[in-house]
Structure 1
Amino acid sequence: MKHKDISDAVLVNRYINGDEQSLSILIYRHKQKIYSFIYSKVFDKDITEDIFQDAFIKVIKNLKLGKYNEEGKFLPWVMRISHNLVIDHFRKSNRMPKFDNSGDFNIFTVLGDPAMNAEKRLIKEQVDCDLRRLIEELPEDQKDVLIMRMYKEMSFKEISQQTDVSINTALGRMRYALINLRKIIEEKNIVLSN
C-alpha cells in the first residue's frame, strides 16, 4: 500500500503504536498547508519555522499522552495548534495592539483581546486577512515600510537603515501607505470592523 493511500487516522494510530515513520509521512503530507498558514500570519520565515516545529512538538506530546481523539481530523487539529501558537507568539511579543496612529484610522487595534469569543476571533481573523490583502495592493516601497513598522515592529530608524533612505522618507512612505490604504478601503467600500 502506498503512503498516499493510507488515511491520517491510520497513520496517527500507527505512530501511537510505535511506528515513527508514520509521523514523518503525516508531517510531509501536511507541511505545505501548515507552513503556508503560519507564514500568512507572521510574514517571517524564521518565526514560521519555529512555530511549525513547536506545533509538531506539541502534536507529538499530545499523541504520546493519548490526548488525541479526533479521528480523521488530524490536519484541522494541527492547524488549531498552529493557530494558537501564532496567537501566543504575538501575545509574548506584544506586537499586535501597539500601533497608535493618533488619528481616527486605527484598524490595527482590532487585534489582540484574549477574552474574545470564537465568533469575534473569526471576525478578527477575517479582518486581518482582508487587511493583509489590501496591503498587498500598495506600492512596493509603501508596503515594505508598513509591514516593517506594523508586523515586524521596527523603528523608523531601523526601517531607514534597512531600506537605505532617510528617516523622513520612511515616515513619508508610512504616511502615504496609510492614506492609500484608506483610499483603497473607501473605493472598495470595505468595512474593517465587526
Structure 2
Amino acid sequence: MQSKVIADSVLVSDYINGNEKSLEILIIRHKQRIFSFVLSKILDREIAEDIFQDTFIKVINTLKKGKYNEEGKFLPWVMRIAHNLVIDHFRRNKRIPTFRNTDEFDIFTVISDEVLNVEKQLIKDQILNDIRELIVELPEDQKEVLIMRMYKDMSFKEIAENTDVSINTALGRMRYALINLRKLIEKHNIILVN
C-alpha cells in the first residue's frame, strides 16, 4: 500500500491544529539532513544530538506560539534555526571573559583565530546557502546563465554557445538575473555581510 507523501506545509498546519503525529513525520523526514549538517559543523555526536534536540524544541515553541510564517519553506527554516544554534554553541564555548575598562585587555588574546575562522566560515556557508535558495526563484533563462557564469566559471562566449543565444542576450540575462537577485535579497531581508 503506497501512501501519498504529505507536503511539509500540510504537516506543519496539521501539527499547529493539534495533530502531534504530524511533527513526528516531519522530524523523521528531515532528521538525517539536519543532523548531518549539525554534526559536520560540531564534529561531536553528543553535542550535535543536543543541538538537534534544541532545534526541534525551538521549532515546537515557534509553531505553538503561532509565529511560524515561512511560506511552506519548512526545511530551510529549520536549517536556519540549527545553524544559529551551532553558532551559539561556538560563542558559548569560547566565551569571551568580561573585563571592565582595562587597557591591557586584548580581545584577540582571548579568541583564537581558529574560532573566528570557523564562525566566519559558518556565516559564509549560510550566505551561500541563502543565495542558492534565491537563485531557484529566478526565471529559468536567467538562472541558467547565472549558474554557468558563477558556479561553472564559463565565459559569456561559452554561455552564448551553450544556450544558443548571442553574447549580448547572455549578458542581458546575467544583468537581469543580478537585478532580480538583489530584489529577492531585499525581499527576504538577507544580510550578505561576513
TM-score range, shorter chain: 0.5 to 0.7
Partner of 1:121: 123
| Residue 110 of structure 1 pairs with residue 110 of structure 2 | no
Q: How far apart are 1:122 and its partner, in Å?
A: 1.6
State the secondary structure of the residue aligned to 2:9: helix
- In structure 1, runs of 5+ residues without a counterpart are 101-105, 114-118, 127-193
Q: Residues 109 and 16 (structure 1 numbering): CA distance in 2 closer, same or farther, change over 3 Å?
A: closer
Partner of 2:157: none
Q: How far apart are 1:5 and its partner, in Å?
A: 1.4
Q: What does 1:72-111 correspond to in 2, within 5 Å?
A: 72-94=72-94, 109-111=116-118
Q: How far apart are 1:121 and its partner, in Å?
A: 2.5
Q: Work out the CA distance in 1 between the residues paired with 2:126 and 2:79.
A: 17
Partner of 2:59: 59
Which amino acid letter does the alignment assign opposite residue 51 of structure 2? I
Q: Residues 4 and 58 (structure 1 numbering): CA distance in 2 closer, same or farther, change over 3 Å?
A: farther
Partner of 1:8: 8
Q: What does 1:3-42 correspond to in 2, within 5 Å?
A: 5-42=5-42
Q: Residues 38 and 95 (structure 1 numbering): CA distance in 2 closer, same or farther, change over 3 Å?
A: farther
- In structure 2, runs of 5+ residues without a counterpart are 97-107, 129-193
Q: Segments of 4+ in structure 1 off by > 3 A?
A: 1-4, 95-100, 106-109, 123-126
Q: Work out the CA distance in 2 between the residues paired with 1:29 and 1:123.
A: 23
Q: How far apart are 1:61 and its partner, in Å?
A: 0.2
Q: Work out the CA distance in 1 between the residues paired with 2:85 and 2:118.
A: 15
Q: Which of these two proteins has the greater Rg computed from alpha carbons?
A: 2
Q: Work out the CA distance in 1 between the residues paired with 2:28 and 2:40.
A: 19
Which amino acid letter does the alignment assign opposite residue 110 of structure 1? N
Partner of 1:141: none
The answer (yes or no) to whether the contact 1:110–1:124 under 8 Å persists in 2 is no
Q: Residues 2 and 14 (structure 1 numbering): CA distance in 2 closer, same or farther, change over 3 Å?
A: farther
Q: Residues 2 and 81 (structure 1 numbering): CA distance in 2 closer, same or farther, change over 3 Å?
A: farther
State the secondary structure of the residue aligned to 1:56: helix
Q: Work out the CA distance in 2 between the residues paired with 1:84 and 1:40.
A: 14
Partner of 2:50: 50
State the secondary structure of the residue aligned to 1:5: coil
Q: Work out the CA distance in 2 between the residues paired with 1:31 and 1:122.
A: 23
Residue correspondences, number: 117
TM-score relative to the length of structure 1 = 0.52
Q: What does 1:171-182 correspond to in 2, within 5 Å?
A: none
Q: Work out the CA distance in 2 between the residues paired with 1:68 and 1:61.
A: 10
Q: Residues 95 and 36 (structure 1 numbering): CA distance in 2 closer, same or farther, change over 3 Å?
A: farther
Q: How far apart are 1:63 and its partner, in Å?
A: 0.1
Q: How far apart are 1:4 and its partner, in Å?
A: 5.4
